[in-house]
Amino acid sequence: PQLLLLDEPLAALDKKLRESTQAELMELQRRLGTTFVIVTHDQEEAMTMASRIGVMKAGKLAQVARPRELYEAPRSRWIAEFVGDVNVFEGEFKLRDGHRLVIATRDAGTLVTAEPREPVGETKLSVAIRPEKVKLSRRGPVSEAGREMAINSLDGVIADICYLGGTTTYKVKLDAGGTVQASVVNSARLDVDAYSVNQNVVAWFTPDDCVVLQS
């Protein structure tokens, strides 16, 4: 057939078998050149297998895009929160400084973001930052390059830790009142440099790490 519909074909498989079968299906699709339409509730599966992803909301396509674009440049706040983990801060547009926006938020203070592709037409905005974009430091970046990158620096304390094997997710209670999640790669086998609950930290990220959403 020119088009093959696969309705949750791997849902009943365990993780290892599901991953190997994903690779088989991808190789089969490349070899045959047949268009596959795959229905799945597994976002990691969609990101792994698809060249384009359509996200459905209430029976309609909310956004159709390549996996990276869908994740890094969601069209709306709903897409940002639905696809993957994300920190979202509500705020108000204050001023434009070159190619950057200054947005005042209630839960994270003043944030500086890169200007979005589409012109800002509303005063009330949301700022989204993926957890893996948030860096943690005990005393903040110390180098000049670090200070230039860490325009958005938020003081807080580690409130919760979730060890996931390859990564660790830290929940940081900010002094400003909100909470931010940071996902850190566990590059070392021993945890001598890991953070602990109730430890004071600085969570920081660059303007380019932020996505400005108008809805």
Give the pLDDT score at 140: 55
Give the pLDDT score at 187: 82
Q: Which fold has domain 87-213?
A: OB fold (Dihydrolipoamide Acetyltransferase, E2P) (2.40.50)
Domain boundaries of the chain, sorted by first residue? 3-82, 87-213
> Phi and psi dihedrals of 187, rounded to 5?
-80, -20
- What's the rounded Cα separation, in Å, for the pair 68 and 64? 11
Give the pLDDT score at 214: 80
Q: Which residues of the chain have pLDDT under 70?
A: 122, 139-150, 192, 215
Give the pLDDT score at 172: 97
DSSP E strand boundaries for the chain: 3-7, 35-39, 53-57, 60-65, 87-97, 100-105, 109-114, 124-129, 135-137, 152-163, 167-174, 179-185, 200-205, 211-213
CATH 3.40.50.300 fits 3-82, yes or no: yes
Is 87-213 the same fold as 3-82?
no
pLDDT digits (tens, 9 = 90+) for 161-183: 999 989 999 999 999 999 999 99
